[in-house]
Amino acid sequence: MAEEYSVCLDIGGTKVLGAIFDEKEKPVYRLKKKTKSGGDSSENIEQVIISVVEEMLEESGIKKSKVKAIAAGAPGVINQAKGIVLFSPNLPWRDYDIRTPIEKKFGVPFYIGNDVNVGVLGEYKYGAVQGYKNVVGFFVGTGMGGGLILDGKLFTGHMFKGAEYGHMILDSEGPLCNCGQRGCLEAFSSKQGMSAYIRQQVSRGRECMMADALDGSAFKSKALKKALAEHDAVATEAVDRACHYLAIATGNMINTISPDAVVYGGGVIEAVGDLFLEKILAEVDRYCMTSIRPTVVLKKAALGDDSVLYGALSMINEQ
C-alpha cells in the first residue's frame, strides 16, 4: 500500500507554519510563511494557507494524491464540526467557512480547531503530558490561551467555546483586558499584560532594557529573555507579577478539575519557561486545596513551536 502523508498547519496572526508528516509520524518537510493579517482579507489569508500547502508538496516531491488529510490550529472560536471560524482576534475571519475552499482545492478532508486546544492536544498525544488523562494547559503568548483534556478527550465546551480561562477574572478592578473585562489572567500574565506593566513603569521614569522592545502591543520573547539575564528590575517585576497570577489561576483550575497534570506552553514559556515554572511552583500551593495538590504535576511543554502541528496530526489520526 502506498504511503500516505498528513499536512499540518499552525495558522497565526503573523505567520503560517506548516509541516508534512509521514506514516511513522515523523516530519519530512516544514515551511513558515509570513502573513500581513492586519490589512488582509479572509481570502488573502486563505491564499497564504493554500500556497504553504502547495509549496511544501512541490518542494518535498509529494504528490497531492498521497495526502491523507490536512489539519490546522488557528486562534479564535472555531466550530470544529463544520470548519467555520466564528471569530478570530488576530485574523480577519468572522463566521468564515475555511473548510470548503481548502477541501475543494486539495480534494482531501480538512480539520481545524482553536490553536491552544490543538496545542494542548499535541502535548497530550506526543509531548510533555503523554499518559495523563486529565490535563489543564496554559499557553502564554501575546494573549493567554487555555486547553483542557478531560478523561482522555479534548474538551471544547458548548459550541466549541470552552476553556477560555485566560479570561478568568482574578481582580475585578485590575487592568483592562482586550476582551473588555478588567483583571483577567490575560491582562496580567500574557505578553500584552507584561508589556502594559513595563510601559507603565517606563512612563513613570524608570529605566528598563525593554523600553525599546515595546513597539506595537507586545515585546518579542527574546527581548524578555535578554532583560531577565541582565537582571533588569522592571522586567523581573513584570514576570513576578505574571507568575503570581498564573499561580492563582493554576490553583483555581486544580481545585476545579483535579487534573493529573498542568502544562505550560506558548512563546513566552519556550523562551523562559524554566523560570516561569520555578516561580509558579514556589507559590501555587498557597492557592490549592492540600488534599488535591499532591496528585497534580506541573510541567513545561516539550514540543515548543510544534505543539500545534502535532495536535493537528492527532486530529487527523483520530478521524
Residue range 197-240, pLDDT digits in tens: 999 999 999 999 998 777 766 788 889 999 999 999 999 999 99
Higher pLDDT, 222 or 312: 312
Element (H, E) at 46: helix 42-60
Residue 261 has pLDDT above 70, yes or no: yes
Q: Report the chain's mean pLDDT, rounded to a whole number.
A: 92
Which architecture characterizes domain 133-301 according to CATH?
A: 2-Layer Sandwich (3.30)
**In 3D, which of 21, 27, 29 has the Cα closest to residue 5?**
21
CA distances, 95 to each of 16, 161, 230 (Å): 20, 14, 46
SS3 (DSSP) at 181? coil
The mean-pLDDT minimum among 42-51, 105-114, 164-173, 300-309 falls in 42-51
pLDDT confidence band for 36 (50 / 70 / 90):
low
* Cell digits of residue 308: 500545534
**What is the CATH code of the structural domain delimited by 5-119+307-317?**
3.30.420.40
pLDDT tens string 238-248: 999 999 999 99
**Where in the chain are all domains bearing CATH 3.30.420.40?**
5-119+307-317, 133-301
**Does pTM top 0.85 for this prediction?**
yes
* Res. 38: pLDDT tops 90: no
